[in-house]
Amino acid sequence: MDQEALTPDRVTGLRGPLVRRVRWLAVRGLAAVATGIVVLGIGGRLVMLGSRLLHAGAIGRVTENGDKIGEFTVEGTFVLIVTGGVLGGAVAAVVWVIVWQWIPRHPVVVGLGAVALGGFNLIDADNRDFVILRDAFPGLAPDLALLVGLVFVFGASLVWVDRWLDARLPEGTGTVSIIVYSLIVVVGVPFLIPTIASFVSTEFCFCDNPPVATGFFIVITAIATAWWWVLNLRGSRTPPRTLTMVGTASVALAVIAGTIHLIGEIASIL
């Protein structure tokens, strides 16, 4: 589908700008969570299996989360799907909503952007799991490649899932669909502050070295996005040129800062 057709202003049959925006938010959130369940949840389990095969000597050792390496349980898989899939997808949905307006929505571009902006959640040089794996099998390049690949596939897949859902979900002309979309947005709102805080706070990112510079530019992007929404609700059909420049530049700088941070973490691990 043409990218222009995905903008909220081109969605037809809705009752007004506010309803269009609510549906738009709901679709972005559903796409991120659905992609998270499949890629981050189920895919994350496959990545763990790959690490197990690479590091047979680490089987039985306890990870930072208290799990045993190489121990496959239904409960562990369920927890991974919920935390890595549902919650990870919800966090990604916040970032997706913030940057959506200002980026080329191409699978490769979004995949690379996902690595730059979200890789720090999986690749943390202070995570003791990397120490355990290094002791069992010196050389963690394959593991890091698997983790980077996982995040890339998530971003690339998100583009396709987003388009697929946007083309098929009800447009929101009925009362039931409006209520459902509104509930989805209400459920997603509480993730806003923790997601932004995860870039700057050790408590929210569960790491010792959060990408603060990335978080700064994400906040600027969020302000530009909120400003555009206000203008859109007041009748504007396209963002002003200056606002577009600010939004685009802040996303680009966030990606650059995130890439630098991730390279530093990978270098420390290797």
The predicted-structure confidence for 25-82, as pLDDT tens digits, reads as follows 999 999 999 999 999 988 888 887 776 666 555 454 545 555 555 556 666 677 778 8
147, pLDDT greater than 80: yes
Residue 259: closest CA among 193, 219, 214, 209: 214
Residue 28: closest CA among 80, 91, 79: 91
Mean pLDDT of 113-142: 75
pLDDT of residue 13: 38
Q: How far apart are CA 219 and CA 95, in angstroms?
A: 10
213, pLDDT greater than 50: yes
Higher pLDDT, 215 or 66: 215
Asked if residues 143 and 188 have their Cβ atoms less than 8 Å apart, the reply is no
User: Which single residue is written with the structure tokens 């009752």?
Assistant: 15
User: Which single residue is written with the structure tokens 């002003």?
Assistant: 240
Q: How far apart are CA 221 and CA 15, in angstroms?
A: 28
What secondary structure letter does DSSP report for 105? -
Q: How far apart are CA 269 and CA 107, in angstroms?
A: 28
| Torsions phi, psi for 68 (to 5 deg) | -95, 130
pLDDT of residue 37: 94
* Mean pLDDT of the chain, nearest integer: 84
Tokens of 92: 């990604």
Q: How far apart are CA 134 and CA 229, in angstroms?
A: 48
CB atoms within 10 A of CB 79: 14
pLDDT tens profile 221-262: 999 999 999 999 888 889 999 999 999 999 999 999 999 999
Higher pLDDT, 235 or 9: 235
Q: How far apart are CA 39 and CA 90, in angstroms?
A: 13
pLDDT-derived band at 14 (thresholds 50, 70, 90) equals: very low
30 by DSSP, 3-state: which?
helix
pLDDT of residue 2: 39
Torsion on CA atoms 195, 198, 203, 153, rounded to nearest 10: 90
Tokens of 14: 């809705």
